[in-house]
Copies of this chain bind each other. A is one copy, B any other.
Protein backbone atom coordinates (compact mmCIF):
# COMPACT_ATOMS: atom_id res chain seq x y z
CA UNK A 1 0.00 0.00 0.00
CA UNK A 2 2.76 2.50 0.85
CA UNK A 3 4.89 3.48 -2.15
CA UNK A 4 8.53 4.04 -1.30
CA UNK A 5 9.59 7.62 -1.94
CA UNK A 6 12.95 6.44 -3.27
CA UNK A 7 11.06 4.97 -6.26
CA UNK A 8 10.41 8.52 -7.44
CA UNK A 9 13.45 10.37 -6.13
CA UNK A 10 13.38 14.01 -5.08
CA UNK A 11 12.49 15.55 -8.43
CA UNK A 12 10.05 12.81 -9.34
CA UNK A 13 8.35 13.19 -5.97
CA UNK A 14 8.03 16.96 -6.34
CA UNK A 15 6.65 16.53 -9.88
CA UNK A 16 4.20 13.90 -8.66
CA UNK A 17 2.93 16.05 -5.79
CA UNK A 18 2.77 19.34 -7.63
CA UNK A 19 1.71 18.38 -11.15
CA UNK A 20 -1.93 19.31 -10.59
CA UNK A 21 -1.24 22.56 -8.80
CA UNK A 22 -2.70 25.43 -10.79
CA UNK A 23 -2.06 29.14 -10.46
CA UNK A 24 -4.85 31.35 -9.16
CA UNK A 25 -3.26 34.79 -8.76
CA UNK A 26 -2.11 37.06 -11.58
CA UNK A 27 0.83 38.03 -9.33
CA UNK A 28 2.20 34.49 -9.62
CA UNK A 29 4.23 34.65 -12.82
CA UNK A 30 6.19 31.39 -12.49
CA UNK A 31 5.78 28.78 -9.77
CA UNK A 32 7.50 25.47 -9.12
CA UNK A 33 10.36 24.20 -11.30
CA UNK A 34 13.22 26.70 -11.34
CA UNK A 35 15.78 28.11 -8.89
CA UNK A 36 13.21 30.69 -7.77
CA UNK A 37 9.54 31.44 -8.16
CA UNK A 38 8.92 34.67 -10.09
CA UNK A 39 6.25 37.03 -8.75
CA UNK A 40 4.74 40.03 -10.40
CA UNK A 41 4.04 42.72 -7.78
CA UNK A 42 5.50 45.78 -9.48
CA UNK A 43 5.75 47.27 -12.95
CA UNK A 44 9.53 47.70 -12.89
CA UNK A 45 10.83 44.61 -11.13
CA UNK A 46 9.98 40.96 -10.88
CA UNK A 47 10.24 39.44 -7.45
CA UNK A 48 12.18 36.21 -6.88
CA UNK A 49 11.56 33.74 -4.03
CA UNK A 50 13.61 30.69 -3.12
CA UNK A 51 13.78 28.50 -0.04
CA UNK A 52 16.08 25.82 1.38
CA UNK A 53 15.64 23.43 4.27
CA UNK A 54 18.90 22.12 5.73
CA UNK A 55 18.85 19.18 8.14
CA UNK A 56 21.60 18.05 10.48
CA UNK A 57 23.07 14.71 9.41
CA UNK A 58 21.86 15.18 5.84
CA UNK A 59 23.20 18.54 4.71
CA UNK A 60 25.79 19.24 7.35
CA UNK A 61 27.82 17.51 10.02
CA UNK A 62 28.47 19.55 13.14
CA UNK A 63 31.54 17.45 14.00
CA UNK A 64 33.54 19.42 11.46
CA UNK A 65 31.30 22.27 10.35
CA UNK A 66 31.69 25.25 12.68
CA UNK A 67 28.38 27.02 13.29
CA UNK A 68 29.72 30.30 11.95
CA UNK A 69 30.53 28.67 8.62
CA UNK A 70 27.18 26.92 8.65
CA UNK A 71 25.37 30.23 9.12
CA UNK A 72 27.38 31.75 6.32
CA UNK A 73 26.81 28.84 3.95
CA UNK A 74 23.07 28.57 4.72
CA UNK A 75 22.57 32.15 3.59
CA UNK A 76 24.95 31.84 0.63
CA UNK A 77 23.22 28.85 -0.98
CA UNK A 78 19.99 30.86 -1.05
CA UNK A 79 21.65 33.95 -2.55
CA UNK A 80 23.08 31.61 -5.18
CA UNK A 81 19.55 30.60 -6.26
CA UNK A 82 18.61 34.25 -6.75
CA UNK A 83 21.76 34.97 -8.82
CA UNK A 84 20.94 31.87 -10.84
CA UNK A 85 17.82 33.70 -12.06
CA UNK A 86 19.93 36.74 -12.98
CA UNK A 87 18.60 38.59 -9.92
CA UNK A 88 19.82 40.32 -6.78
CA UNK A 89 19.02 38.92 -3.29
CA UNK A 90 17.46 41.50 -0.96
CA UNK A 91 15.89 39.87 2.11
CA UNK A 92 15.97 36.57 3.99
CA UNK A 93 13.90 34.98 6.71
CA UNK A 94 15.70 32.50 8.97
CA UNK A 95 13.93 29.70 10.85
CA UNK A 96 15.86 27.49 13.22
CA UNK A 97 14.90 24.36 15.16
CA UNK A 98 17.32 23.99 18.06
CA UNK A 99 18.28 20.85 19.91
CA UNK A 100 18.87 21.02 23.64
CA UNK A 101 22.63 20.90 23.39
CA UNK A 102 22.74 24.37 21.80
CA UNK A 103 23.75 27.29 23.95
CA UNK A 104 23.21 30.98 23.29
CA UNK A 105 26.87 31.29 22.20
CA UNK A 106 26.31 28.65 19.50
CA UNK A 107 23.48 30.68 18.08
CA UNK A 108 25.59 33.82 18.24
CA UNK A 109 28.20 32.04 16.12
CA UNK A 110 25.56 30.95 13.61
CA UNK A 111 24.14 34.47 13.37
CA UNK A 112 27.65 35.95 13.03
CA UNK A 113 28.23 33.80 9.93
CA UNK A 114 24.79 34.66 8.60
CA UNK A 115 25.52 38.35 9.07
CA UNK A 116 28.88 38.16 7.27
CA UNK A 117 27.16 36.59 4.25
CA UNK A 118 24.34 39.15 4.38
CA UNK A 119 26.73 42.09 4.68
CA UNK A 120 28.81 40.86 1.75
CA UNK A 121 25.69 40.64 -0.44
CA UNK A 122 23.74 43.60 0.98
CA UNK A 123 20.88 41.41 2.19
CA UNK A 124 18.55 42.17 5.12
CA UNK A 125 17.43 39.58 7.69
CA UNK A 126 13.72 40.42 8.02
CA UNK A 127 12.16 37.64 10.04
CA UNK A 128 12.02 33.99 10.96
CA UNK A 129 10.99 31.51 13.54
CA UNK A 130 12.84 29.80 16.39
CA UNK A 131 11.59 26.56 17.88
CA UNK A 132 12.95 23.67 19.92
CA UNK A 133 13.81 20.42 18.18
CA UNK A 134 13.62 17.01 19.84
CA UNK A 135 16.37 15.79 17.57
CA UNK A 136 18.84 17.58 15.31
CA UNK A 137 19.39 21.13 14.19
CA UNK A 138 17.24 22.29 11.26
CA UNK A 139 17.66 25.48 9.26
CA UNK A 140 15.09 26.90 6.88
CA UNK A 141 15.97 30.04 4.94
CA UNK A 142 13.79 31.83 2.42
CA UNK A 143 15.36 34.49 0.23
CA UNK A 144 13.57 37.25 -1.65
CA UNK A 145 15.26 39.05 -4.50
CA UNK A 146 14.50 41.18 -7.50
CA UNK A 147 15.29 41.21 -11.17
CA UNK A 148 14.55 43.74 -13.86
CA UNK A 149 11.05 43.17 -15.29
CA UNK A 150 11.01 40.29 -17.77
CA UNK A 151 14.75 39.65 -17.36
CA UNK A 152 14.59 36.57 -15.10
CA UNK A 153 16.70 33.77 -16.58
CA UNK A 154 14.93 30.39 -16.47
CA UNK A 155 16.23 26.88 -17.05
CA UNK A 156 14.06 26.39 -20.09
CA UNK A 157 15.43 28.96 -22.54
CA UNK A 158 18.48 27.17 -24.01
CA UNK A 159 18.49 26.99 -27.85
CA UNK A 160 20.38 24.85 -30.31
CA UNK A 161 23.90 26.23 -30.99
CA UNK A 162 23.93 28.21 -27.71
CA UNK A 163 27.22 28.00 -25.85
CA UNK A 164 27.32 26.22 -22.47
CA UNK A 165 29.34 28.18 -19.88
CA UNK A 166 30.36 27.66 -16.27
CA UNK A 167 31.93 30.02 -13.78
CA UNK A 168 34.85 29.20 -11.46
CA UNK A 169 35.95 25.59 -11.15
CA UNK A 170 34.15 22.39 -10.24
CA UNK A 171 34.57 19.43 -7.90
CA UNK A 172 36.41 21.37 -5.19
CA UNK A 173 33.57 21.42 -2.68
CA UNK A 174 33.15 17.66 -3.05
CA UNK A 175 36.87 17.13 -2.50
CA UNK A 176 36.72 19.33 0.57
CA UNK A 177 33.95 17.12 1.92
CA UNK A 178 36.00 13.97 1.26
CA UNK A 179 38.92 15.51 3.11
CA UNK A 180 36.79 16.40 6.14
CA UNK A 181 35.15 12.98 6.17
CA UNK A 182 38.56 11.33 6.07
CA UNK A 183 39.83 13.36 9.01
CA UNK A 184 36.66 12.59 10.93
CA UNK A 185 37.20 8.86 10.39
CA UNK A 186 40.84 9.16 11.54
CA UNK A 187 39.74 11.04 14.64
CA UNK A 188 37.15 8.43 15.62
CA UNK A 189 39.62 5.61 14.99
CA UNK A 190 42.19 7.28 17.26
CA UNK A 191 39.54 7.86 19.88
CA UNK A 192 38.51 4.23 19.75
CA UNK A 193 42.11 3.05 20.11
CA UNK A 194 42.78 5.47 22.98
CA UNK A 195 39.70 4.25 24.81
CA UNK A 196 40.96 0.67 24.59
CA UNK A 197 44.03 1.69 26.61
CA UNK A 198 44.00 1.92 30.39
CA UNK A 199 44.95 4.52 33.02
CA UNK A 200 47.93 6.76 32.19
CA UNK A 201 48.39 5.35 28.69
CA UNK A 202 44.82 6.30 27.86
CA UNK A 203 45.24 9.80 29.29
CA UNK A 204 48.45 10.28 27.28
CA UNK A 205 46.82 9.10 24.06
CA UNK A 206 43.83 11.43 24.54
CA UNK A 207 46.13 14.38 25.34
CA UNK A 208 48.23 13.71 22.27
CA UNK A 209 45.04 13.58 20.15
CA UNK A 210 43.99 16.93 21.55
CA UNK A 211 47.35 18.48 20.76
CA UNK A 212 47.50 17.24 17.18
CA UNK A 213 45.36 19.09 14.69
CA UNK A 214 44.65 17.69 11.24
CA UNK A 215 47.11 19.09 8.72
CA UNK A 216 45.21 20.71 5.87
CA UNK A 217 48.28 22.47 4.48
CA UNK A 218 48.02 22.79 0.70
CA UNK A 219 44.32 21.84 0.87
CA UNK A 220 42.98 25.18 2.11
CA UNK A 221 41.19 25.89 -1.13
CA UNK A 222 39.18 22.64 -0.91
CA UNK A 223 38.05 23.44 2.62
CA UNK A 224 37.08 26.94 1.51
CA UNK A 225 35.04 25.47 -1.33
CA UNK A 226 33.15 23.19 1.06
CA UNK A 227 32.81 25.53 4.01
CA UNK A 228 32.72 29.00 2.52
CA UNK A 229 31.11 28.82 -0.93
CA UNK A 230 30.78 32.12 -2.78
CA UNK A 231 27.50 32.95 -4.49
CA UNK A 232 28.52 34.44 -7.84
CA UNK A 233 27.16 37.96 -7.75
CA UNK A 234 30.32 39.03 -9.64
CA UNK A 235 29.43 36.86 -12.64
CA UNK A 236 25.92 38.32 -12.84
CA UNK A 237 27.42 41.82 -12.74
CA UNK A 238 29.97 40.92 -15.43
CA UNK A 239 27.25 39.53 -17.69
CA UNK A 240 25.16 42.66 -17.17
CA UNK A 241 28.00 45.04 -17.95
CA UNK A 242 29.02 43.00 -21.01
CA UNK A 243 25.40 43.23 -22.19
CA UNK A 244 25.00 39.45 -22.28
CA UNK A 245 21.54 38.03 -21.44
CA UNK A 246 21.95 34.26 -20.90
CA UNK A 247 19.21 32.12 -22.47
CA UNK A 248 19.17 29.66 -19.53
CA UNK A 249 20.86 29.57 -16.15
CA UNK A 250 21.00 27.69 -12.87
CA UNK A 251 23.45 27.26 -10.03
CA UNK A 252 25.47 24.09 -9.59
CA UNK A 253 24.36 22.63 -6.28
CA UNK A 254 23.84 18.95 -7.18
CA UNK A 255 26.66 18.60 -9.75
CA UNK A 256 27.25 19.66 -13.36
CA UNK A 257 25.60 16.57 -14.90
CA UNK A 258 22.45 16.97 -12.88
CA UNK A 259 22.11 20.66 -13.69
CA UNK A 260 22.83 20.09 -17.40
CA UNK A 261 20.05 17.54 -17.39
CA UNK A 262 17.64 20.06 -15.87
CA UNK A 263 18.50 22.68 -18.49
CA UNK A 264 18.38 20.23 -21.42
CA UNK A 265 15.15 18.55 -20.35
CA UNK A 266 13.37 21.81 -19.53
CA UNK A 267 14.66 23.46 -22.74
CA UNK A 268 14.03 20.31 -24.77
CA UNK A 269 17.57 20.20 -26.15
CA UNK A 270 20.68 18.05 -26.01
CA UNK A 271 24.26 19.21 -25.37
CA UNK A 272 27.88 18.37 -26.10
CA UNK A 273 30.36 19.01 -23.30
CA UNK A 274 34.14 18.74 -23.67
CA UNK A 275 35.93 17.07 -20.79
CA UNK A 276 39.12 19.06 -21.38
CA UNK A 277 37.18 22.31 -20.99
CA UNK A 278 35.65 21.54 -17.59
CA UNK A 279 37.39 23.95 -15.20
CA UNK A 280 39.32 22.25 -12.39
CA UNK A 281 41.55 23.60 -9.67
CA UNK A 282 45.00 22.08 -9.13
CA UNK A 283 44.18 21.06 -5.54
CA UNK A 284 41.03 19.28 -6.72
CA UNK A 285 43.08 17.26 -9.21
CA UNK A 286 45.76 16.37 -6.64
CA UNK A 287 43.20 15.29 -4.06
CA UNK A 288 41.30 13.17 -6.62
CA UNK A 289 44.56 11.44 -7.54
CA UNK A 290 45.30 10.78 -3.87
CA UNK A 291 41.85 9.30 -3.28
CA UNK A 292 42.03 7.32 -6.49
CA UNK A 293 38.97 9.08 -7.92
CA UNK A 294 38.42 10.24 -11.50
CA UNK A 295 38.56 14.02 -11.26
CA UNK A 296 36.12 14.52 -14.16
CA UNK A 297 33.56 12.35 -12.38
CA UNK A 298 34.03 14.48 -9.27
CA UNK A 299 33.49 17.66 -11.29
CA UNK A 300 30.42 16.20 -13.02
CA UNK A 301 28.75 14.66 -9.99
CA UNK A 302 30.18 16.35 -6.91
CA UNK A 303 27.77 19.00 -5.71
CA UNK A 304 27.87 22.18 -3.67
CA UNK A 305 30.19 24.23 -5.87
CA UNK A 306 27.53 26.95 -6.22
CA UNK A 307 29.01 28.07 -9.50
CA UNK A 308 26.74 29.25 -12.31
CA UNK A 309 25.92 27.11 -15.33
CA UNK A 310 24.41 29.07 -18.21
CA UNK A 311 23.90 29.20 -21.93
CA UNK A 312 24.41 32.20 -24.21
CA UNK A 313 23.77 32.77 -27.94
CA UNK A 314 26.77 31.79 -30.04
CA UNK A 315 27.05 35.42 -31.14
CA UNK A 316 28.31 36.19 -27.62
CA UNK A 317 31.26 33.83 -28.07
CA UNK A 318 33.89 36.56 -28.10
CA UNK A 319 32.50 38.23 -25.00
CA UNK A 320 32.52 34.93 -23.17
CA UNK A 321 36.08 34.09 -24.18
CA UNK A 322 37.15 37.42 -22.71
CA UNK A 323 35.12 37.19 -19.52
CA UNK A 324 37.14 36.59 -16.39
CA UNK A 325 36.50 33.32 -14.51
CA UNK A 326 33.98 31.98 -17.03
CA UNK A 327 34.63 29.08 -19.37
CA UNK A 328 32.78 27.82 -22.44
CA UNK A 329 32.59 24.04 -21.98
CA UNK A 330 30.39 22.99 -24.89
CA UNK A 331 27.23 23.81 -26.79
CA UNK A 332 23.53 23.04 -27.01
CA UNK A 333 22.28 20.54 -29.63
CA UNK A 334 19.01 19.12 -30.90
CA UNK A 335 17.26 17.00 -28.26
CA UNK A 336 17.67 13.75 -30.24
CA UNK A 337 21.45 13.99 -29.86
CA UNK A 338 21.15 13.58 -26.11
CA UNK A 339 23.68 14.78 -23.58
CA UNK A 340 27.19 13.88 -24.69
CA UNK A 341 30.54 14.15 -22.95
CA UNK A 342 33.52 14.25 -25.35
CA UNK A 343 36.50 12.88 -23.46
CA UNK A 344 40.09 14.06 -23.76
CA UNK A 345 40.86 11.15 -26.08
CA UNK A 346 37.94 12.02 -28.36
CA UNK A 347 35.49 9.34 -27.22
CA UNK A 348 31.85 10.21 -26.71
CA UNK A 349 29.84 9.16 -23.66
CA UNK A 350 26.28 9.77 -22.69
CA UNK A 351 26.15 12.04 -19.65
CA UNK A 352 24.36 10.51 -16.69
CA UNK A 353 23.33 12.58 -13.73
CA UNK A 354 24.36 10.76 -10.58
CA UNK A 355 23.62 13.90 -8.66
CA UNK A 356 20.15 13.97 -10.19
CA UNK A 357 18.52 12.10 -7.38
CA UNK A 358 19.82 13.04 -3.96
CA UNK A 359 16.72 11.93 -2.08
CA UNK A 360 16.94 8.49 -3.64
CA UNK A 361 20.64 8.25 -2.83
CA UNK A 362 20.17 9.27 0.77
CA UNK A 363 17.14 7.13 1.37
CA UNK A 364 18.33 3.91 -0.21
Contacts and interface: CB of A to CB of B under 8 A. Distances in A.
A39 interface: yes
A206 interface: no
Interface residues of A, number: 82
A2 to B, nearest CB: 3
A140 interface: yes
Given A24-B122, A32-B127, A124-B23, A53 B95 contact: yes
Contact of A91 (B37, B111, B363): B37
Interface in A344-364: 358-359, 362-363
A125 B53 contact: no
Main secondary structure of the interface of A (DSSP, over half): mixed
Given A23-B124, A104-B16, A130 B359 contact: yes
B140 A53 contact: yes
A134 B57 contact: yes
A38 to B, nearest CB: 9
A10 B130 contact: yes
B5 A98 contact: yes
Question: How many monomers of this protein are in the complex?
Answer: 2
A330 to B, nearest CB: 29
Nearest to A101: B2
A144 interface: yes
Contacts of A199: none
A249 interface: no
Contacts of A67: none
B8 A39 contact: no
Interface stretch (A40-48, A156-164, A285-293): A40-48
A104 B8 contact: yes
Interface of A: 1-5, 7-8, 10, 13-14, 16-18, 21, 23-25, 27-28, 30-32, 36-37, 39, 41-43, 45, 47, 49-59, 90-91, 93, 95-98, 100, 102-108, 111, 115, 122-136, 138, 140, 142, 144, 146, 358-359, 362-363
9 A-B pairs with the lowest CB-CB distances in the bound complex, closest first: A2-B103, A135-B135, A140-B140, A37-B126, A53-B95, A42-B42, A3-B104, A142-B142, A31-B126
9 contacts: A3-B105, A10-B131, A50-B127, A53-B138, A54-B131, A55-B134, A55-B138, A58-B131, A135-B135
